[in-house]
Amino acid sequence: MSYQIKVMTQKQAEDIAFNWRYDGEYSFYDMVADEEDLSEFVDPESRGKSTYAVMSNNDLIGFFSVNKVYEHTYDIGLGMKPDLTGKGNGLKFLNEGIKFVIQEFEAERITLSVATFNQRAINLYKKVGFKEINIFMQETNDDCFEFQRMEYECRKGD
């Protein structure tokens, strides 16, 4: 499966926000679960050019948001189409995203935050080389949840 990563269009943002629904505890990641996240995601001005659609064979399969933290350090957020999750697709998807951030932004370090209940994602992040940094509480989805901050040191040749 080859990927194309381009700045997200309004139609793609609305498709993700209003049509992608995750099962069980992963419904935490439904865009409609948090009004603030939803409005930022569907508003083209808020989203800006920092959110990218990931396409494969003309199908929208995921997204990456990329935000500069400080020089050569970028924080990412990501999501994969619900029917592709939990089926072994994450490793290639994440590696392609890391490669994209390194090539496009000359990143030397990539950070992300993940809800601590999501051990499936945490295990994937560790597998590709992310290290656990700290745990923090964050208000989202009308409650306060525990998150794990993780960091990836980009290696020459990545």
Mapping DSSP onto H, E and C, the string for the chain reads: CCCEEEECCHHHHHHHHHHCCCCHHHHHHCHHHCHHHHHHHHCHHHHCCCEEEEEECCEEEEEEEEEEEECCEEEEEEEECHHHCCCCCHHHHHHHHHHHHHHHHCCCEEEEEEECCCHHHHHHHHHHCCEEEEEEEEEECCEEEEEEEEEEECCCCC
CA atoms within 13 A on the CB side of 91: 7
- Report the pLDDT value the prediction gives residue 105, as an integer from 0 to 100: 95
Stretches where the chain sits below pLDDT 50 are none
- Report the pLDDT value the prediction gives residue 158, as an integer from 0 to 100: 66
- Report the pLDDT value the prediction gives residue 157, as an integer from 0 to 100: 63
Predicted TM-score (pTM) of the model is 0.92
- Report the pLDDT value the prediction gives residue 103, as an integer from 0 to 100: 95
Burial of 15 (0-12, 13-18, 19+ CB in 10 A): middle
Domain annotation for the chain: domains and CATH numbers: 4-153 (3.40.630.30)
